[in-house]
Every structure is written in C-alpha cells, then in structure tokens.
Amino acid sequence: MARSEKPAIIFIDELDSLVRVHSSEVGGEARVRNQFLKEMDGIVDKGKRVYVYVIGATNKPWNLDWPFIRRFQRRLLVPLPDRRARLEMFRHFTRGFSLAGDVDFGRLADETRGFTGSDIRDVCQSAQLNVIREFFEASRHLGGDARPRSVCMSDFMEAIKRVKPTVTEAMVKLYQKWDERFGSY
C-alpha cells in the first residue's frame, strides 16, 4: 500500500490485546508483537513519503509496551463525552424511535454525566426494550389489537437507574495521569 502512494488508514481497536507489556508472553505472542513492531518501523523507514496511517485505540493505555508507544507520533486522550456530545448521542441513538412529547434530551444529557457513548447507547436500548416488553405483554392479553406506545421520559429515567456508568472517577484519574506522562498533541 505504501509503495502505491495511495493513502491507507489502519485502525486497530483494543490495541492493548496485541502489544501489551511483555512480562507474561509465550513464544507466539512475542513473535507477533516483535513482527508488528518491525512492521511499524518499516512504515516510516528510509525517508520515503508514506501514505499509511496507523491509528490504535485502547481503554488500557498503561498496559501498552513502551517500545510500541514510542512508535506513535501522537497519543491522544479521548475524554468522556461532554453535555453537548451526550445530547447529540441521545438524538443519534433514538433516531427511528417513536418518542413521546415529554422526552427531554437536555435533561437526559444532564442525568448521564460520566457516561460513555456506549453507556448512553445502552440507556436508549434499555428504554426501548421496556416499551417492547410492555407491548408483548399487552399483545398476549389483547391479541392483535395491541400497539406499542412511544418511548417516554420515564422509560429513559428507569433505564438510567439500571445502566451504570462503566468508567469510574478513579479510572478517569488513571487516564489523566497516563496522558500527563505520555500524551502528545
């Protein structure tokens, strides 16, 4: 790809599972890690114009091997979504929902401070599942005349009670500490 001068982006999710600190590796894992490091070096080798960009994501940056960290020119902390981002996520994840008039995305964004995008998606799915569950219950009793109701604010509030944030304050502090030491913008 690099020789054809056509741009390419390689995205590796859960990067820590591929290039973790190598204290407990067995032979195959060590070979994969070493080969990957060698390939990363080859991308920027010999002063060629290279059009290959490697982007990695991890929730455990402290588990990454230092030789691998050095090969990334930029290391960015992606913080938890702010209020505006949470608001947009609620809008995004509820597209296609039949929403009641009482749904207040601003309040939902306020109630989900500290939630990740995945947590917000789970809240939306949980709220919708509540309506679906009710619909199936009603259709058993009423037959084919039952219709699902719209998802209302109380469905979201119940979901928020059930879905807990997956990132704690202690974890946020760990991310910030790592970013202070290794982050580069």
Q: Is 18 in contact with 36 (CB distance < 8 Å)?
A: yes
Cα 35 to Cα 25: distance, rounded to the nearest angstrom = 14
Residues of the chain within CATH 3.40.50.300 domain(s) are 8-78+175-182
State both tokens at 85.
């981002």
pLDDT digits (tens, 9 = 90+) for 50-81: 678 888 898 888 888 777 788 888 889 999 99
Lowest mean pLDDT among 28-32, 42-46, 138-142, 175-179: 42-46
Q: Is 60 in contact with 15 (CB distance < 8 Å)?
A: no
The 3-class SS string of 93-141 reads HCCCCCECCCCCHHHHHHHCCCCCHHHHHHHHHHHHHHHHHHHHHHHHH
- Residue 63 pLDDT: 85
Helix (H, G, I), strand (E, B) or coil at 150: coil
- pLDDT greater than 70 at residue 47: no
Average pLDDT over every residue of 104-131: 97
Q: What is the pTM of this model?
A: 0.78
Residues of the chain within CATH 1.10.8.60 domain(s) are 83-166
Q: pLDDT grade, residue 89 (50/70/90)?
A: very high
Distance from the first to the final alpha carbon of the chain: 27
Burial of 79 (0-12, 13-18, 19+ CB in 10 A): exposed
Is 2.60.120.280 the CATH classification of the domain at 83-166?
A: no
- Residue 105 pLDDT: 98
- Residue 172 pLDDT: 92
Q: Please tell me the CATH code under which domain 8-78+175-182 is placed.
A: 3.40.50.300
- Residue 78 pLDDT: 92
The residues, ordered by sequence, that sit 6+ positions from 148 with a Cβ below 8 Å of its Cβ are 98, 131, 132, 134, 135
- Residue 1 pLDDT: 44
Question: Which residue has tokens 């999710």?
Answer: 13
Q: pLDDT grade, residue 2 (50/70/90)?
A: very low
Cα 138 to Cα 145: distance, rounded to the nearest angstrom = 9
Cα 102 to Cα 181: distance, rounded to the nearest angstrom = 46
Q: Is 110 in contact with 138 (CB distance < 8 Å)?
A: no
pLDDT digits (tens, 9 = 90+) for 126-177: 999 999 998 888 777 766 667 789 999 999 999 999 999 999 999 999 999 9
